[in-house]
Amino acid sequence: MGVLENGREIAVKRLAKTSTQGLHEFKNEVILISKLQHRNLVKLLGCCIERVEKMLIYEYLPNKGLDSFIFGKWNNVKRKHRKVSNQQRHKQKFELLTDKTQSTLLGWRTRYQIIIGIARGLLYLHQDSRLRIIHRDLKVNNILLDADMNPKISNFGTARSFGGNQIEAHTNRVVGTRGYMAPEYAEDGTFSIKSDIHSFGVLILEIVCGEKNRRFAWGLQNEGNSLQLVDKCLGELIDVHQVLRSIHVGLLCAQNHPEDRPTMTSVMMMLESKGPLPSPKEPGFYVGKFTDGFYEGLNGEKSINELSITILSDTQNES
């Protein structure tokens, strides 16, 4: 976090001095997001490039990341191992425990408005902006919240733009996050607006459930027990129609084949209407293994959701 001369608070995303591919992502983010303006996209205020220093200056969003509200915060708890031998010293291991205190602050009405806000931002990227943008890493960690809990899609370092009549592209280096990736992207490197829609479907289910990708959502939907998916933190203070419709739309978005997924225009209509919905097939949550060198996830990246100053990690060039 930083403060401008006029007193305005800002968030600073800083590129590691030793980064190589990070420079490509840096330039990509500047070029793309400088051409975009929407209330549900994080706002870029400026950038700084001086010798080895490269920084992106964003609006400061006091509520930071949606992930901390949905999944809770991660706490490090020290625990000693037993002594194995005289030559081996005692070691410490950090056990990850979750604190979901913040999730109780996120009622259903707010969660639903967050879902709608993300959908509007994605609709803008896919259809209403000057460019057709494929985000390629849409996930709960990349959704920031302003003071009024309005969602902002962030982190455009791996985004790609389509021009003219282009509807899909292929890469030999897949970037993104396992669990959110569409099957055709994770397996073959093929991506399109439908890849983002798959990720959005997973995101909807996580916002409703309050947990990571719930792969048994489809089974409960078929059994008529979708309400069992609802985050227990919400209690009975929910709009049942909105909850059931959100789960249904989430499953439709997360379909295995791109042609079975709706467009964002259809998604908005389905979320905000009360008409009948098509029955979803089994969703395409990708759980397969990645071959060495094909998947290049951003595991080393510290999210701007967590820190005001972020170090971008090295990843491989696409080809």
Q: Give the DSSP H or E segment for 238.
A: none
Residue 289, pLDDT score: 39
The answer to whether the beta carbons of residues 317 and 24 sit under 8 Å apart is yes
Say what percent of the chain tops pLDDT 90. Answer: 50
Spans of all domains in the chain: 2-64+302-311, 66-80+90-101, 102-272
pLDDT tens sequence across 133-181 = 999 999 999 999 999 999 999 999 899 999 888 899 999 989 889 899 9
**Residue 292 pLDDT greater than 50, yes or no:** no
What is 102-272's CATH number, 1.10.510.10, 3.90.1150.10, 1.10.10.10, 1.10.1030.10?
1.10.510.10
Count, in order, helices (H) and strands (E) of the chain: 8, 13
Nearest C-alpha neighbor of 207 from the set 271, 250, 236: 250
How far apart (Å, rounded) are the C-alpha atoms in residues 250 and 267? 9
Nearest C-alpha neighbor of 121 from the set 102, 104, 146, 103: 146
**Residue 20 pLDDT greater than 80, yes or no:** no
Using 50, 70 and 90 to split pLDDT, how confident is the model at 303? Answer: very low
Query: Pairing relation of β-strands 309-311 and 9-14?
Result: parallel
What is 2-64+302-311's CATH number, 3.40.50.170, 3.40.640.10, 3.30.200.20, 3.40.30.10?
3.30.200.20
pTM to 2 decimal places: 0.81
How far apart (Å, rounded) are the C-alpha atoms in residues 112 and 271? 10
First to last CA, the chain: 35
The answer to whether the beta carbons of residues 153 and 135 sit under 8 Å apart is yes
Q: Which residue has the tokens 């899909």?
A: 168
pLDDT tens sequence across 96-126 = 444 566 666 799 999 999 999 999 999 999 9
Give the residue, 123 or 20, on which the prediction is more confident. 123
**Residue positions annotated with a catalytic role:** 137
